[in-house]
Amino acid sequence: MGSLGRHDALPRRPPEPPKPLTSLHTGPTPSNPRPPAHPRAARAYTLRRYLHGVAEGPGELPPGSALPQESNLDHLRGVDFRKGCYLGQELTIRTQHTGVVRKRILPVQLYGASEQAAPPSRLAYAPVEFGVRAGEDVRRVGGAAAVGGRRSAGRVVAAVGNVGLALCRLEVMTDVRVSAEGGSYVPGQEFCVGGDEEKRIVAFVPVWLRERLDGEREKKGIE
């Protein structure tokens, strides 16, 4: 992902070390691999992506199942709605113009049941191991006792230490409204991973995405 069209706060890829030109072929080859970015720079970039809700690569955006809008690519200039033809174009265009995007990838914080989640402005990476895996469901703490407790509220996309990404139902896990009827968001409601109430998770909407979602809501006349 490049920086074109992205919010100023969003991360850029760390530069790769220069590679000596040994042949007319300028790309990586088995005998002339591309040098990787410095490990510390790459890790810092990954953590910054997570804190700003930016997913990338097939591990976080599985081909054939990751919808562009749910992956925030509609707000990151990752898809051209005037261009065709490509696999999934019909669904992508229909969702953009007539559908409601109820789920989006958001930054998340992991914390223990005996702890309190930090506010977004004070969230920082901590090397704490929670044993959370990509693909695990996110559910309300309290299960069926809570409104909509039986229904998954989201799915973990990636996690490193106490931060990560999750595909979240906006009107369940956040105060963002995407439809006139609204959702089942309850202020103060806590969520857990994989049904384990010791592993708490909270989603937050980064400033850059909230600005663009507010713009969408205004266009649709949703108060």
Domains of the chain: 38-223 (2.40.30.160)
User: Is the separation of the CB atoms in 56 and 49 below 8 Å?
Assistant: yes
pLDDT, position 1:
41
Q: What percent of the chain has pLDDT over 70?
A: 69
User: pLDDT for 144-172, tens place per residue?
Assistant: 544 444 579 999 999 999 999 999 999 99
Q: What is the DSSP string of 196-217?
A: EEEEEEEE---HHHHHHHHHHH
**Residue-level pLDDT at 70:** 87
Amino acid occupying residue 209:
L
Confidence of residue 26 (pLDDT cuts 50, 70, 90): very low
Residue 195 pLDDT greater than 70, yes or no: yes
> Could you tell me how many residues make up the chain?
223
pLDDT of 98-137, one tens digit each?
A: 778 889 999 999 999 999 998 888 888 889 989 999 999 9
What does pTM read for this prediction?
A: 0.78
What is the model's pLDDT at position 3? 44
Indicate the pLDDT class of residue 22, thresholds 50, 70 and 90. very low
Burial class (CB in 10 A: 0-12, 13-18, 19+), 159: buried
Contact assessment for residue 11 and residue 54, using Cβ atoms and an 8 Å cutoff: yes
198 Cβ neighbours under 8 A, 6+ residues apart: 112, 113, 192
What is the predicted pLDDT for the residue at 42?
83
Is residue 107 within 8 A of residue 165, CB to CB? The reply is: yes
